[in-house]
Amino acid sequence: MSNIIEIEGLSKRYGDLVALNDLNLTIDQGAVVGFIGPNGAGKTTTMRILTTLLQPSSGTARVAGYDVAQNPDAVRRAIGYMPDFFGVYDDMKVWEYLDFFAACYDIPPATRHGMIDDLLGLVDLGHKKEQYVEGLSRGMKQRLCLARTLTHDPQLLILDEPASGLDPRARIEMRELLRELQNMGKTIFFSSHILSEIADVCTSIAILEAGNLVAHGNIEQIRRQLRANRTIHVRLLGEREPLVNLLQTSPGVVHLQTDDLPADSLRFDFSGDDVALSELIQTAVSHHIPLVSFREEEHDLEDVFLQLTKGVVN
């Protein structure tokens, strides 16, 4: 799979302030990547460099094989950008808004009409085609702006906080839309503060703090990197002593805990892999230990984020 974004040693300084510090990041074609970080971490700066709006202080960034500084027009053809804050024009109808931006991307007038209908259908705004843009709700404007990013059928969508300021329903709609775009084969690189949404939609994440990349990769891989041991919760019928005795002699059991837990429950950290864990369960069953539940503790993205970041802000 080829890389659609290749960032090497990218830095951005504003006087003494280092907004981005030697960022190295690659994103595969077709991936949905969540860009996470506290406010001021450098997410928007990275996105503005990738969208040819900002000059980096040093380093290179390539989008779809084109250097953002050397070949901005080719990069613009390959990307659809939705900034975190954007305005709309007064006195403009929804279809006129899309028609205007399609014209800005050199789409011939003959093909625009059908394309606008398709895009409005995709973002569920077909019924608002003749309405003025200023009269749309915030969620509808966000969806319209997303439709705008698709007028020239770009390979890569760079979305800065696409769900910010939306109510729960609009956020769910936006998430569904991102899934739809993923199914259409688009690469999506988007930032968000809503970590649960990122975990739902993304194939991988990149975590930025104070201009430094602190983690990048599959969410599950990062979780594993963070935790050498997995935490297992067990509930039994009756006494837990037989299982405690078994676990104390079992390899891979690192830290057994019974304090502050009900009499029929216990928790332990396990350093083994899935095979070792399965063998442990089989051993317990063969010792006639009455297991009711045996489950691994899930660590959500919030835990990962809190573990990786220190709350440092530029």
Partner 1 sequence: MTNLPLKPTLWHTLRQNPVTLKELRSRMRGRRAFVVLTVYLLFMSLFLALIYLAYLTTSGPGGSGARDAGKIMFTAVLGMQIFLVIFIAPAFTASAISGEKERQTYDLLRTTLLSPSAFVLGKLLSALSYVVLLILASVPLQSISFLLGGLSPEELIISQILILVAAVTFALYGLYCSARMKTTLAAIIAAYGGALFVTFGTPLIAVLITLITGAAFITTGTVGWVTEATLTYLGLTLSATNLPATLVLSETILQQENTLLFYTQSIRGHSVWLFSPWPLFILLYALAAWLLYRACVRHVRRISD
User: From the CB of 192, what's the least distance to partner 1, in Å?
Assistant: 19
* Phi then psi dihedrals of residue 106, to 5 deg: 60, 25
Distance from the Cα of residue 109 to its chain's centroid: 36
86 versus 118: smaller Cβ distance to partner 1: 86
Residues 63-122 that bind partner 1 (CB under 8 A): 69, 72-73, 76-77, 79, 81, 83, 85-92, 96, 100-101, 103-106, 109
User: From the CB of 247, what's the least distance to partner 1, in Å?
Assistant: 58
Return the half-sphere exposure (C-beta side, CA atoms, 13 A cut-off) of residue 111.
9
- For the record, the structure tokens of 57 come out as 């202080």
The contact pattern for partner 1, residues 38-57, with x = CB under 8 A and - = no contact, is ----------x--xxxxx--
90 versus 274: smaller Cβ distance to partner 1: 90
Distance from the Cα of residue 173 to its chain's centroid: 16
* Residue 303: other Cβ atoms inside 10 A: 15
Terminal CA-to-CA distance of the chain, rounded, Å?
A: 35
Distance from the Cα of residue 302 to its chain's centroid: 12
Answer yes or no: are the C-beta atoms of 187 and 156 closer than 8 Å: yes
User: From the CB of 195, what's the least distance to partner 1, in Å?
Assistant: 26
52 versus 250: smaller Cβ distance to partner 1: 52
40 versus 83: smaller Cβ distance to partner 1: 83
User: From the CB of 81, what's the least distance to partner 1, in Å?
Assistant: 5
105 versus 294: smaller Cβ distance to partner 1: 105
Give Cβ neighbours of residue 127 (< 8 Å, ≥ 6 apart): none
> Binding residues for partner 1, how many (CB under 8 A)?
33
169 binds partner 1 (CB under 8 A): no
What is the identity of the amino acid at 258?
T
Residue indicated by tokens 């705004």: 125
Residue 275 three-state SS: helix
User: From the CB of 54, what's the least distance to partner 1, in Å?
Assistant: 5
Strand-pair category, 17-28 with 3-14: antiparallel
User: From the CB of 91, what's the least distance to partner 1, in Å?
Assistant: 4
Interface positions with partner 1 (CB under 8 A): 48, 51-55, 69, 72-73, 76-77, 79, 81, 83, 85-92, 96, 100-101, 103-106, 109, 145, 148, 152
